[in-house]
Amino acid sequence: MNDQQWNTLVSVVRGEAIEPVPTAFIIDSPWLPNWAGHTILDYFTDERMFLEDNLKAIRAFPDTMFLPGFWSEYGMCTEPSAFGSVCMWGEDEFPFAKKVLLSPSDVERLEKPDARKHGLLPFVIKRLKHLQPEIEAAGHKIRFAVARGPLNIASFLMGTPEFMEALKTEPELMHKLLEIVTDFLVDWIAVQREAFPSIDGIFLLDDIVGFISRRDFETFGLPYLKRAFSADVTVKFFHNDAPCKASAPLLAAAGINLLNFGVQHTLTEMKAWTNNRIALMGNIPPRDVLAEGTPADVVRSVTEMLNALDDKSRLIVSCGGGMPPNAPTESIQALISAVREMKR
């Protein structure tokens, strides 16, 4: 993100009036490499390709923001790799991390990784260090420390069904697991901030939050998210494109001030459930409209969404989740243009 974009983002988070309403997209490996004409594995393993693909997107869509910006990631393998997960790679497939905990009792032997040395984490930092001069020469800075959230990482370490069941059957062990994961996340965020002093935001992604009740979120979600977001930064950005109704009223208590959510709920509902205390980023259907619809479908969806909204403060128009695979240039541009042409 360049300075103007960052200032716009901060203004939205603070509730200031922005005209026109800004647009932004989360972009990473499910969309960017294929859109740019490369395979996912090439994107992960070639620093020059990573840089050029990100710059290509920035130049193709100069009127929008890409978050978190130059996202140095290895899909869902990034954080689980530090815990020893076997990472599986295909030439043009999303990578997958195998579970390392075969039963809840295995948590007893789990150790907190070293965020400076373990798994793929040093590669995340080194890629950005190598490319930082060119990123900054292009007018951008590294703004966010990025990680998967506590429940998301725990679900990869155990397997999602097993983790969800253990929340009910082995709550003490699951608290121990989440404490280890969250301690690791605090370290990992600190390592990123130390490496890049330009970071003034945290971006955490955790869809598992959407699959638990409000009571379980209060017990197993809120305290660990609050710790993970505890660093003193301006923007605390959370992604959960699973259902948000149970957790939405409590997200501000975790320190979150920017939320990217899914298509299960309307902007009006989310504004009410968050008491308009959190800036919202969404929520055009990513697959059905942005990826598979026509540009006219996109314009219609944007128009209907914004016309249904009385209060357009604390709003960034995007899709309901990350940029979907196969989203075409024409549809992305249609969304950006439709928002710019609408008056507040």
Whether the predicted model's global pTM rises above the 0.95 cut: yes
Number of alpha carbons in the 13 Å side-chain half-sphere of residue 334:
21
pLDDT tops 60 at residue 222? yes
- Tokens in use for 344? 């507040």
**pLDDT recorded at residue 343:** 64
- Tokens in use for 289? 């409209």
pLDDT bin (cut points 50, 70, 90) of residue 78 is very high
Nearest CA to 178 among 151, 212, 218?
A: 151
User: 301 or 19, which is more confident?
Assistant: 301
Tell me the average pLDDT across 171-190.
98
**Bond before 150 cis per omega within 30 degrees:** no
SS3 317: strand
CA distances for 276 relative to 248, 315, 336, angstroms: 11, 10, 24
Average pLDDT score over the chain: 97
121-137 vs 171-195: helix axis angle to the nearest 10? 40
How confident is the model over 223-248, as pLDDT tens digits? 999 999 999 999 999 999 999 999 99
Number of compact structural domains in the chain: 1
Which element (helix H / strand E) includes 55?
A: helix 47-60
Tell me the average pLDDT across 271-280.
96
Strand 96-97 relative to strand 87-88, pairing: antiparallel
Tell me the average pLDDT across 85-89.
97
**pLDDT recorded at residue 17:** 83
CB of 32 closer than 8 Å to CB of 67:
no
How confident is the model over 107-153, as pLDDT tens digits? 999 999 999 999 999 999 999 999 999 999 999 999 999 999 999 99
Residue 21: give its domain's CATH number.
3.20.20.210
Which element (helix H / strand E) includes 26?
A: strand 24-26
SS3 36: helix
pLDDT tops 90 at residue 344? no
Could you list the residue range(s) of the whole structural domain that residue 137 is in? 3-341
- Tokens in use for 115? 């965020």
Q: What is the C-alpha separation between 126 and 119, in angstroms, rounded? A: 13
pLDDT tops 90 at residue 295? yes
pLDDT bin (cut points 50, 70, 90) of residue 342 is confident
pLDDT bin (cut points 50, 70, 90) of residue 211 is very high
Q: What is the C-alpha separation between 62 and 252, in angstroms, rounded? A: 31
Which residues, at least 6 apart from 300, have a Cβ–Cβ distance to it below 8 Å? none
| Centroid of chain to Cα 303 | 25
